[in-house]
Amino acid sequence: MSPVSIQRVLISESVDPRCRSILQENGIEVTERQNMSKDELLAEIKNYDGLIVRSATKVTAEVVRAAGALKIIGRAGTGVDNVDVDAATKNGVIVMNTPGGNTISAAELTCALVLSLSRNVAQADMSMKAGKWDRKKFMGSELFGKVLGIVGLGRIGKEVATRMQSFGMRTIGYDPITPPDVSAAWGVEQMSLEQLWPQCDYITVHTPLMPSTTGLLNDETLAKCKKGVKVVNCARGGIIDEEALLRALESGQCGGAGLDVYVEEPPMQRALVNHPNVISCPHLGASTKEAQARCGQEIALQIVDMVKGKALVGAVNAQVLASTFSPESHLWIRLGEAMGSVLRAYTSSKQPYSKVQVTTLGERLKKSTEFLSSAVVVGLITDGSSHGANLVNALALAKETGLSVNSSTPKPAACVVEVSLCGCGYKALGSVQAGVPVLLQLDGCVFRQPVSLAGHLLFFKAESSPQLLPSVTGEISGDCKRLTSLSPWRPSGYLCLDYYWFCVGMSSLLGDLASLRSLVKEAAQLTV
């Protein structure tokens, strides 16, 4: 993928001023507008190719669709559940976050809530402010020797564990991805949730909000916990079912809750917030000077690096691009796109196909199969009128159009990419030679000299008579037909290709038909 050009960025929430400065220093125009209504955002977003948000801006599918020119949604923070990532992907928009920037802050707030729950700090303070001196009511219990269950052992879960161990807590946990030996290295014993629930004095959740984590703590699972268990949610509203939590608080099954996040923010339903055993914050996990400085700075630097073609860091939906920010991979991407275009053009009037097989041959290309497949699909499905396909959405669009894309890397051989359109049997073989994407073979016709695919223009080089056809492209015209019949290459064997269809194909890759026509005429004259 070529470096992504970003010219105008909208920052729709309070993000550290460093973000704006870094973008502006790098020639990007920045507008900051906070508290926009949904309609204002829908109207405004079309003027920008970049959007930077925190957790309050809901970047729905409607917003993504309304944003005709949007290329990047930057999340100055961790959770991207407020962004419709699928819609962004389908529309070719990169979604990027800064996941490490607020880890420590979120972990520290979690620990603060655990400590406050153990000693009723918030309630005691309220009572003092009400003029009371109630030492009996706020009897607490030590954390020392108690069990903390951590659900979600990623960045924040790990930091919470190591901090709470210093209070003498035993930390147990569950995570479907983090291996048990990894978490054991930082003192967390992993077990199934069934085993975990009944052992915990405190439970804290640190997973993203996803269908599989929604309602992880519910009536059923809360009932499996120790009576009086205390729970903390500094991750996302909804991971603990709010209504089930209220019921458990009322029955005493849950002894207290520390909440930073809510299903609806701010929560309109205040029963939980008002409960005497609940201490709550208005989503403050990342609200520290340090976390905001990091997140604001990181998201700006990540965008600038992407624009400069240096690196793609923090993309959550475009991993295929992450490894492609090198001059070499840009060449392979151009090759893939060009091969896709050539095959699309070449086969468009022939048999249909429903499957494409991309085979990469060569050690150097081993890790490139995925982005090469995406590049081939971009070339295959982008016709002259639509420019909607890019490396972000290529595979999603292929799926939508019923095109199945297979890729494989058989034993290393040469650095060659083979694209086969299964069904009609057309095939192209390409490579990068001397820094130029080249075509070696098309539909079984071998070129003795590779055909340059640079800029999607084909330059034919005839070995024996280089003056014959210095550069040829074609369009549907009598000239092309004439060229087919002239066919000086056939006898020489340099190019045994159905030239007419080849020219038809090439015409769709070119905007400048006038110069194309003259090239074809020139070629025809040369060959008479």
Ligand X SMILES: O=C(O)C(=O)COP(=O)(O)O
Ligand Y SMILES: NC(=O)C1=CN([C@@H]2O[C@H](COP(=O)(O)OP(=O)(O)OC[C@H]3O[C@@H](n4cnc5c(N)ncnc54)[C@H](O)[C@@H]3O)[C@@H](O)[C@H]2O)C=CC1
Is there binding between residue 78 and ligand X (CB under 6 A)? yes
135 is catalytic: no
Catalytic entry in 20, 54, 236, 275: 236
Separation CA 277–CA 258 (nearest Å): 9
Give percent helix, percent strand, percent coil of the chain, each to the nearest 5. 40, 20, 40
Nearest residue to ligand Y, by Cβ distance, number only: 154
Instruction: Give me the DSSP letters along 250-281.
Output: HHTSEEEEEES--SSSS-S--HHHHSTTEEE-
Distance from first CA to last CA of the chain, Å, rounded?
A: 42
Nearest residue to ligand X, by Cβ distance, number only: 77
The interface with ligand X within residues 86-115 (CB under 6 A) comprises: 102
Amino acid occupying residue 20: R
Which residue's CB is nearer to ligand X, number 291 or number 331? 291
Is there binding between residue 213 and ligand X (CB under 6 A)? no
Is there binding between residue 286 and ligand X (CB under 6 A)? yes
Which residue's CB is nearer to ligand Y, number 103 or number 393? 103
- Residues β-bridged to residue 83: 59
Contacts of 399 (CB under 8 A, 6+ apart): none
Shortest reach from residue 316's CB to ligand Y, in Å? 10
Which residue's CB is nearer to ligand X, number 55 or number 347? 55
Is there binding between residue 120 and ligand X (CB under 6 A)? no
Q: What angle do CA 435, 439, 443 make, to 5 degrees?
A: 165
**Binding piece for ligand Y, criterion CB under 6 A, among 41-49, 64-72, 145-153, 244-252:** 145-153
Q: Tokens for 37?
A: 């209504």
CA 295 to chain centre: 17
Per-residue x/- track, 50-69, ligand X (CB under 6 A)? ----xx--------------
**Binding piece for ligand Y, criterion CB under 6 A, among 39-47, 168-176, 412-420, 455-463:** 168-176
Instruction: Give me the DSSP letters along 158-194.
Output: HHHHHHHHTTT-EEEEE-SSS-HHHHHHTTEEE--HH
265 is catalytic: yes
Neighbours of 266 (CB within 10 A): 10
Name the DSSP class of 240.
Answer: B
Contact of residue 153 among ligand Y, ligand X, none (CB under 5-8 Å per partner type): ligand Y
Q: Tokens for 410?
A: 């058989």
Contacts 24+ apart (CB under 8 A), 288-292: 288/102, 288/105, 288/108, 290/104, 290/105, 291/101, 291/102, 291/104, 291/105, 291/106, 292/15, 292/16, 292/76, 292/102
# residues near ligand X by CB under 6 A: 10
Catalytic entry in 283, 294, 334, 344: 283
Is there binding between residue 190 and ligand X (CB under 6 A)? no
Query: Does residue 417 sit in helix, strand or coil?
Result: strand
Contact of residue 441 among ligand Y, ligand X, none (CB under 5-8 Å per partner type): none
**Binding piece for ligand Y, criterion CB under 6 A, among 204-212, 358-366, 369-377, 489-497:** 204-212
Is there binding between residue 233 and ligand X (CB under 6 A)? no
Shortest reach from residue 262's CB to ligand X, in Å? 11
Is there binding between residue 74 and ligand X (CB under 6 A)? no
**Binding piece for ligand X, criterion CB under 6 A, among 76-84, 357-365, 432-440, 442-450:** 76-84
**Virtual torsion, Cα 160, 166, 171, 174, nearest 10 deg:** 20
Catalytic entry in 29, 32, 62, 265: 265
Say if residues 75 and 259 touch (Cβ distance below 8 Å): no
- Residues β-bridged to residue 436: 433
Is there binding between residue 234 and ligand Y (CB under 6 A)? yes
Contacts of 380 (CB under 8 A, 6+ apart): 340, 341, 343, 344, 356, 398, 403
Which residue's CB is nearer to ligand X, number 155 or number 310? 155
Neighbours of 131 (CB within 10 A): 6
Strand order in the sheet with 170-174: 188-190, 170-174, 147-151, 202-205, 229-233, 254-259, 278-280
Contact of residue 54 among ligand Y, ligand X, none (CB under 5-8 Å per partner type): ligand X
Per-residue x/- track, 79-118, ligand Y (CB under 6 A)? x-------------------x--xx--x------------
Shortest reach from residue 315's CB to ligand X, in Å? 16
Radius of gyration of the chain (CA): 30
> Within 13 Å and on the Cβ side, how many CA atoms surround 249?
22
283 is catalytic: yes
**Binding piece for ligand X, criterion CB under 6 A, among 77-85, 152-160, 385-393, 424-432:** 77-85
Is there binding between residue 160 and ligand Y (CB under 6 A)? no
Which residue's CB is nearer to ligand Y, number 175 or number 475? 175
Out of 94, 261, 442, 480, name the contact with ligand Y by CB under 6 A.
261
Shortest reach from residue 98's CB to ligand X, in Å? 8
Exposed/middle/buried for residue 528 (C-beta within 10 Å: 0-12, 13-18, 19+) = exposed
**Binding piece for ligand Y, criterion CB under 6 A, among 234-242, 406-414, 471-479, 488-496:** 234-242
Catalytic residues: 236, 265, 283
Which residues sit at the interface with ligand X, rule CB under 6 A?
54-55, 77-79, 102, 283, 285-287
Which residues sit at the interface with ligand Y, rule CB under 6 A?
78-79, 99, 102-103, 106, 151-157, 174-178, 206-209, 212-213, 234-236, 260-261, 283, 285-286
